Structure 1
Amino acid sequence: MTGKSVEVGDLFIFYGLLKQGAAGQPADLPLDSAGTFGAPCRFRARMVDLGGFPGVVEGNQLCHGVRWKLTDTTIMPAMDAFEDVTEDPATSLYLRKQIPLMDDTGAESGETAWIYWYNRPADGYPPVADGNWPLEAGKTRK
């Protein structure tokens, strides 16, 4: 996690199980009532298949995600718990951080969004084709 707190109106990038309609999306996470799903978006990273769910790590691939605008911050502990974010970066499976959004050409759009960034070595995991996690590919993690 970063030192900055999440606020109403902040954008998130969902690129895997939290995308609207994704297989494996947690049924007990009220994403539709705590925020608004928006248009597709792009970001720079390297997306890997971790075995039924993706992770993103440092890289220069133009990846695909979906915008989500937060309207109710009380969902944040449940979202962080789903992504195994802890107070200690050494034990977190993912870290929540802000990154720039890109347009379809790969240029920065001027917006930033929170993203759940994989916090373990990704060596040996297969890349996700075109940096776009298929909706039907997910499996429930918990």
Structure 2
Amino acid sequence: MTSGPEYLFVYGTLMQGYNNPFAQKLQEMSVFEGNGFFRGMLYAVSWYPGAVYFEESTTPVYGEVYRMSNVPELLRELDEYEDVFEDENISLYVRRVVPVGLENGSVVNCWTYLYNQSVDVLQEIESGNFRDFKGA
């Protein structure tokens, strides 16, 4: 379940500047590689966001890329934070590998947490950047 890339892309409350123990754990157990984006849509779920990946999308979801150390341990803890369960039908998020564009023009495959519930009634964050969201 944790085999895959050593990179993680975050676009919400795990980014730098958010004060929670899981963001702090991410900072301690990884190296910030830079800002990036993937193709998709970003929504305001509540005080936190949810993103959906669409390969064909022309809209970006912006965030940060980290190179993780001790990948299995860190992903286990982050899975707990993101309400990822063995039964994906009840998971709030699912962890998937998506291609992320970096500021230098390269693309790296990263784990990320994608929203796993209906977005029908959610407000879209049109800029694709959670830091721009002032609601909830």
Tell whether 2:61 aligns with 1:63. yes
In the other structure, the counterpart of 2:110 is 113
2:102–2:108 Cα contact (<8 Å) kept: no
Partner letter of residue 81 of structure 1? Answer: E
- Residues 77/4 of structure 1: CA separation in 2 closer, same or farther (3 Å cut): closer
Alignment of 1:1-142 (within 5 A): 5-6=3-4, 10-22=6-18, 25-27=19-21, 30-59=25-54, 60=57, 61-73=59-71, 74-103=73-102, 109-134=106-131
> Which ranges of 4 or more aligned residues in structure 1 deviate by more than 2 Å?
135-139
2:35–2:65 Cα contact (<8 Å) kept: yes
Q: What do the CA deviations read for 1:66-115 (whole angstroms, capped 9, x no partner)?
A: 001111222221100000001111111100000111256xx8x3421111
Partner letter of residue 118 of structure 1? Answer: Y
CA distance, structure 2, for counterparts of residue 12 and residue 80 of structure 1:
12
Gap regions ≥5 residues in structure 1: none
Gap regions ≥5 residues in structure 2: none
CA distance, structure 2, for counterparts of residue 90 and residue 137 of structure 1:
30
Question: How many residues of Structure 1 are paired with residues of Structure 2 in the alignment?
Answer: 130
- Residues 135/27 of structure 1: CA separation in 2 closer, same or farther (3 Å cut): farther
Partner letter of residue 50 of structure 1? Answer: V
What percent identity do the matched residue pairs reach?
26
Name the structure with the higher helix share.
Answer: 2
If the length of structure 1 is used for normalisation, what is the TM-score? 0.80
